[in-house]
Chains A and B, each alone.
Chain A
Amino acid sequence: MSVDNLRSSLVDVPSGTITAESDTATLFDRLGLEPSAVVDAALIERHYLALSRQLHPDFQAAATDDVQQLAVRNSALLNEAYTTLLDDQKRLEYLLALRDAEALERNKKLSPVFLMESMEHSEAVESAADDTSKLATLAKTYKGEVAERISAAQAALAESDADVDRVATLLHEARVYRRILRDCKTR
Chain B
Amino acid sequence: MSSSDSTPADVVIGIDLGTTNSLAAIMGRDGPRVLVAESASPLIPSVVSFLDDNKHIVGEKARALAIRNPRRTVHSVKRLMGRGLADLGDETTRLAYKIVDTEKSKLVRIDIDGQLYSPQEISALILGEVRRRAESALGTPVTKAVITVPAYFDDAQRQATRDAAQIAGLQALRIVNEPTAAALAYGLDTNREGTIVVYDLGGGTFDVSVLKITQGVYKVAATSGDTHLGGDDFDNAIMDRILGAVSNATGKDLRSQPEALQQIRLSAEAMKMELSTGDVATLEVDIGQDEPVTVRITRDDFEDMIRADIERTLACCRSALADADVEIEDVNDIVFVGGSTRIPLVRKRVTEVFGREPHTELDPDRVVALGAAIQADVISGGNRDLLLLDVIPLSLGLETMGGAFAKLITRNQTVPCSVTEMFSTYADNQSGIDINVYQGERELVADCRKLGSFKLTGLPGMAAGLPRVEVTFLVDADGVLTVKAREQRSGVSASIDVVPSHGLTRDEVKGIVRESIVNAHADFAARELIELSNKARNLIDGTQRVLDMPDLPFPPEQRDELAADIANLRALVEAQDLPGIKKACEVFGEKTQSLADDVIGAAIKQELNTERSL
Residues of A within 8 A of B (CB): 49, 52-53, 56-59, 61-62, 72-73, 75-77, 79-80, 82-83, 182, 185-186
- For the complex, is B547 an interface residue (Cβ under 8 Å from A)? no
Of all chain B residues, the one with the shortest Cβ separation from A185 is B322
A79 contacts B474, C-beta separation under 8 Å: no
Q: Which of B217, B319, B379, B417 contacts A79 (CB 8 A)?
A: B417
Cα distance A93–B476 in the bound complex, in angstroms: 26
Partner of A80, one of B173, B378, B418: B418
Report chain B residues within 8 Å CB of A77: 418
Whether A56 contacts B414 by the Cβ 8 Å rule is no
Can you spell out 16 A-B residue pairs with CB atoms less than 8 angstroms apart? A52-B387, A53-B384, A53-B387, A56-B387, A57-B416, A57-B477, A58-B174, A58-B375, A58-B387, A72-B477, A75-B416, A76-B415, A76-B417, A76-B474, A79-B413, A79-B416
Complex Cα distance, B379 from A58, in Å, reads 5
Chain A proximity of B268: nearest CB distance (Å): 34
Given A72-B477, A73-B474, A61:B414 Cβ within 8 A: no
Q: Among residues 473 to 488 in chain B, which have CB atoms less than 8 Å away from a CB atom of chain A?
A: 474-477
Whether A72 lies near B474 (C-beta < 8 A) is: yes
Would you give the 0/1 interface string for B369-380, flagging 1 where the beta carbon is closer than 8 Å to chain A?
000000100111
Considering the chains assembled together, what is the distance between the CA atoms of A186 and B321 in angstroms?
A: 9
Q: At the interface, yes or no: B251 with Cβ under 8 Å from chain A?
A: no
Question: Quick check: is B550 within 8 A (CB to CB) of the other chain?
Answer: no
Residue B388 at the A interface, CB < 8 A?
Answer: yes
Question: Is B288 close to A, CB under 8 A?
Answer: no
Interface string of B360-404 (1 = CB under 8 A from A): 000000000000000100111100100111000000000000000
In the assembled complex, the Cα of A82 lies from the Cα of B221 at a distance in Å of 13
Asked if B318 is at the interface of the complex by the 8 Å CB criterion, the answer is: yes
Docked CA distance A58–B476 (Å): 11
Given contacts A73-B418, A75-B477, A76-B474, contact A186 B379 (CB under 8 A): no
Contacts of B169-196 to chain A: CB distance below 8 A = 173-174
Q: How far is the CB of A36 from chain B (nearest CB, A)?
A: 22
Least CB separation from B327: chain A residue? A185
The chain A residue with its CB closest to the CB of B410 is A83
Instruction: Name the A residues within 8 Å of B380 (CB-CB).
Output: 61
Q: Which residues of A contact B475 (CB under 8 A)?
A: 76
**SS class, residues of chain A in contact with chain B:** helix
Q: Judging by beta carbons under 8 Å apart, are B379 and A80 in contact?
A: no
Separation of A119 and B379 alpha carbons in the complex (Å) = 50
Contacts of B375 in A (CB 8 A): 58
Contact B322 A83 (CB under 8 A): no
CA distance A73 to B484 in the complex (A): 13
In the bound complex, what is the Cα–Cα distance between A182 and B318 (angstroms)? 10
* Shortest Cβ distance from residue A63 to the other chain B in the assembled complex, whole angstroms: 11
Residues in chain A near residue B476, CB distance under 8 A: 57, 72
Choose one: A61, A75, A82, A185; the contact of B318 (CB below 8 Å).
A185
CB distance B389 to A52 under 8 Å?
A: yes
In whole angstroms, what is the CA distance A164 to B123 when docked?
56
Given contacts A49-B217, A58-B378, A79 and B415 within 8 Å (CB-CB) = yes
Inter-chain contacts of A75 with B (CB < 8 A): 416, 477
CB distance from A96 to the nearest CB of B (A): 19
Please measure, in the bound complex, the distance between the C-alpha atom of A56 and the C-alpha atom of B384, giving whole angstroms.
11
Q: A57-B477, A76-B415, A80-B418 provided; 5 other pairs, C-beta below 8 A?
A: A49-B387, A52-B387, A53-B387, A79-B417, A80-B419
Among A59, A61, A73, A77, max chain B CB count under 10 A is at A61
Interface centre among A62, A73, A75 (most CB of B within 10 A): A75
B477 touching A62 by the CB < 8 A rule? no
Q: Write the chain A residue with the least CB distance to B380.
A: A61
Chain B residues in 8 Å Cβ range of A80: 417-419
The 10 closest A-B pairs by CB, nearest first: A76-B418, A76-B416, A185-B322, A75-B416, A79-B414, A57-B477, A61-B379, A72-B416, A76-B417, A186-B322
